[in-house]
Amino acid sequence: MKRAFMSELAIVRTLIPSIAGVGLFIFVVLTLVNASDGDSGMSAGACAVSAMSPIIVMNSLAGFDNQNGWSATGQRCPSRAKTSSAHAT
């Protein structure tokens, strides 16, 4: 488990610059759009970036797993539906 976690962290390290770039762009755009109303628009940008970051990281990691053939490993494992229906009878 530790090796798998360290592998995921190594992948995330390569993604941080692109994720930070997207987050900075979204933050600046939302801050400028909301600041034109006379309000302090930084809160909208900060909320959007903090909500988007975990989603972007998880989608990126899932994409890397699919590129490296991990979906084939999942197909060989018994499905959860089969085990739950077997216990129900």
pLDDT tens for each residue of 34-67: 776 666 667 778 888 888 888 888 888 888 777 7
72 in any annotated domain: no
Q: Give residue 82's pLDDT band: very low, low, confident or very high (50, 70, 90).
A: low
- Rg from Cα positions in the chain: 20
Query: What's the pTM value of the predicted model, to 2 decimals?
Result: 0.58
40 in any annotated domain: yes
Domain that holds residue 32: 12-53
66 in any annotated domain: no
45 in any annotated domain: yes
pLDDT over 90 percentage in the chain: 3
What pLDDT, on a 0 to 100 scale, did the predictor assign at position 15?
83
Whether the Cβ atoms of residue 64 and residue 11 lie closer than 8 Å to each other: yes
What pLDDT, on a 0 to 100 scale, did the predictor assign at position 84?
47
